Amino acid sequence: MPLEIKKVGVIGAGQMGNGIAHVCALAGFDVVLSDQDPDRVRSGLATINGNMAKQVSKGTVSEDDRQGALKRIATATAVDELADCDLVIESATEREEVKKKIFAGVCQVLRPDALLASNTSSISITRLGASTDRPERFIGIHFMNPVPLMELVELVRGIATDDDTFESAKVFVTKLHKTYAVAEDFPAFIVNRILLPMINEAIYTLYEGVGSVDAIDRAMKLGANHPMGPLQLADFIGLDTCLAIMQVLHEGLADSKYRPCPLLVKYVEAGWLGRKTQRGFYDYRGEKPVPTR
Ligand SMILES: NC(=O)c1ccc[n+]([C@@H]2O[C@H](COP(=O)([O-])OP(=O)(O)OC[C@H]3O[C@@H](n4cnc5c(N)ncnc54)[C@H](O)[C@@H]3O)[C@@H](O)[C@H]2O)c1
């Protein structure tokens, strides 16, 4: 029987984790938002509060619903507090060893029938699931950024994911008023398999001097009708996450066409990770974003 999900734990309160907690709480689930860093929990909750206030001012969410949703979100800095969750969604940094360590800890406290999911952008669900005590109840639930606004969720079954888990995940995503696309478990799934090589190519275009940051983004917005330029999008995703996804594609598919651009590596090494650190291909510290090259 598919498990009925009532309480959802989210591990990682960064830009994706707080968005996932936001939509789960608005959909009526009890939520525990957790992070190893108490500051990230606090700022995650503040972001949810602010984003819900925007939804109220736009008229897409009522004030009562906002109040109700905020009351349903508890916060935590230790996995013990996720013990009674029916579903835990890991949304921590895109590094396999970080995720595996989190799963080792959380599996010790979860009920045996509880479901475990990863919001990974690229890492093998089969491999992550195999590192847990419940590969049959492990699944990829890949949200898009920003979570409250983006309709799509990719559902990714590992080789061992059972039918009940898959059905529970479908029902869960539907209750969030989102639409799912099923992706097979290959590096970066569907959206990022297509999107990230395009972003990486935009960075090569900058690296080789074909165009400036401004020219590349303007060209793709006005010439290809993209809602935001690829470098702006890279900053929005986070350059560390972009690099991690390219590395998974490069290693997983063993094809040189996925080689991460050295300029992307350099930005990450500088700690210029995009919007989340105030600097990436643009500098966000002033009134409006200024290209950094
Ligand atoms: N950024 C995007 O556009 C996007 C889109 C879809 C999926 N994702 C995926 O979502 C996940 C999170 O990405 P993000 O953009 O929110 O990153 P982020 O850097 O904003 O947040 C990551 C959070 O994980 C926390 N964390 C790290 N190690 C932890 C641990 N051991 N225990 C608990 N918390 C820990 C960090 O403190 C941080 O708050 C990644 O797997 C990423 O690939 C990102």
Residue 237, domain CATH: 1.10.1040.10
94 is in an annotated binding site: yes
Ligand 1 touching residue 12 (CB < 6 A): yes
**Contact predicate 122/192, CB 8 Å:** yes
The answer to whether residue 1 is domain-embedded is no
- Final residue of a structural domain among 148, 164, 183: 183
Rounded mean pLDDT, 256-267: 98
Instruction: Write down the pLDDT at residue 181.
Output: 98
Distance of CA 234 to the CA centre of its chain: 14
| pLDDT 10s digits, 73-118 | 999 999 999 999 999 999 999 999 999 999 999 999 999 999 999 9
**Contact predicate 221/227, CB 8 Å:** yes
Ligand 1 touching residue 168 (CB < 6 A): no
- CB environment 71-110: b (16+ within 10 A), e (fewer): ebbbbbeebeebeebbbbbbbbebebeebbebbeebbebb
Rounded mean pLDDT, 130-141: 98
Ligand 1 touching residue 140 (CB < 6 A): no
278 is in an annotated binding site: no
175 is in an annotated binding site: no
**Residue whose CA is at the smallest distance from ligand 1 atom 6:** 144
The answer to whether residue 293 is domain-embedded is no
Instruction: Write down the pLDDT at residue 290.
Output: 98
**Contact predicate 273/238, CB 8 Å:** yes
Question: If you search the block for the tokens 């992550």, which residue do you land on?
Answer: 128
| 155 and 125 fall within a common domain | yes
Instruction: Write down the pLDDT at residue 1.
Output: 85
**Residue whose CA is at the smallest distance from ligand 1 atom 32:** 36
- Asked if pLDDT for residue 27 goes beyond 90, the answer is yes
Neighbours of 126 (CB within 10 A): 18
Task: Label residue 167 by pLDDT band (50, 70, 90).
Answer: very high
| 108 and 220 fall within a common domain | no
Q: How far, in Å, is the centroid of ligand 1 from the Cα of 14?
A: 5
* List of long-range contacts for 158-162, beta carbons under 8 Å, 24+ apart: 158/124, 158/125, 158/126, 158/127, 158/128, 158/129, 158/130, 158/185, 159/126, 159/185, 160/126, 160/129, 160/130, 160/135, 160/136, 161/125, 161/129, 161/135, 161/136, 161/137, 162/136, 162/137
Q: How far, in Å, is the centroid of ligand 1 from the Cα of 92?
A: 3
Ligand 1 touching residue 121 (CB < 6 A): yes
- Asked if pLDDT for residue 176 goes beyond 90, the answer is yes
- Asked if pLDDT for residue 2 goes beyond 90, the answer is no
Instruction: Write down the pLDDT at residue 10.
Output: 98
Q: How far, in Å, is the centroid of ligand 1 from the Cα of 60?
A: 27
Which atom of ligand 1 sits closest to the CA of residue 92? Answer: 24
Ligand 1 touching residue 78 (CB < 6 A): no
CATH code, domain carrying 118 = 3.40.50.720
Give the side-chain half-sphere CA count within 13 A for 215.
9
Structure tokens at 264: 């992307």
The answer to whether residue 197 is domain-embedded is yes
| 99 and 205 fall within a common domain | no
Give the side-chain half-sphere CA count within 13 A for 83.
5
Ligand 1 touching residue 145 (CB < 6 A): yes
Which of 36, 93, 100, 118 to probe ligand 1 with, by most ligand atoms within 8 A of CB? 93
Distance of CA 175 to the CA centre of its chain: 19
Rounded mean pLDDT, 13-18: 97
Ligand 1 touching residue 13 (CB < 6 A): yes
Question: If you search the block for the tokens 């590992």, which residue do you land on?
Answer: 158
The answer to whether residue 101 is domain-embedded is yes
Q: Are strands 87-90 and 115-118 parallel, antiparallel or unpaired?
A: parallel
**Contact predicate 91/14, CB 8 Å:** yes
The CA distance from 183 to 189, in Å, is: 6
| 102 and 221 fall within a common domain | no
Write out the residue range of the structural domain in which residue 228 sits.
193-288
| 19 and 138 fall within a common domain | yes
| 177 and 273 fall within a common domain | no
Sign of the C-alpha dihedral computed for residues 241, 243, 246 and 248 taken in this order: negative
| pLDDT 10s digits, 50-77 | 999 999 999 999 999 999 999 999 999 9
| 123 and 257 fall within a common domain | no
35 is in an annotated binding site: yes
Average model confidence (pLDDT) for the chain?
A: 98
| 209 and 103 fall within a common domain | no
| 160 and 221 fall within a common domain | no
The answer to whether residue 253 is domain-embedded is yes
80 is in an annotated binding site: no
| 152 and 234 fall within a common domain | no
The CA distance from 238 to 15, in Å, is: 10
| 263 and 178 fall within a common domain | no
- Final residue of a structural domain among 160, 183, 206: 183
**Residue whose CA is at the smallest distance from ligand 1 atom 30:** 36
The answer to whether residue 33 is domain-embedded is yes
The answer to whether residue 276 is domain-embedded is yes
| pLDDT 10s digits, 191-204 | 999 999 999 999 99
Q: Which residues are catalytic?
A: 121, 142, 154, 192
Could you give the number of structural domains in the chain? Answer: 2
Report the share of the chain in percent with pLDDT over 90. Answer: 99
- Asked if pLDDT for residue 188 goes beyond 90, the answer is yes
- Final residue of a structural domain among 151, 183, 215: 183
| 172 and 225 fall within a common domain | no
Reference 241, options 13, 16, 90; nearest CA is 16
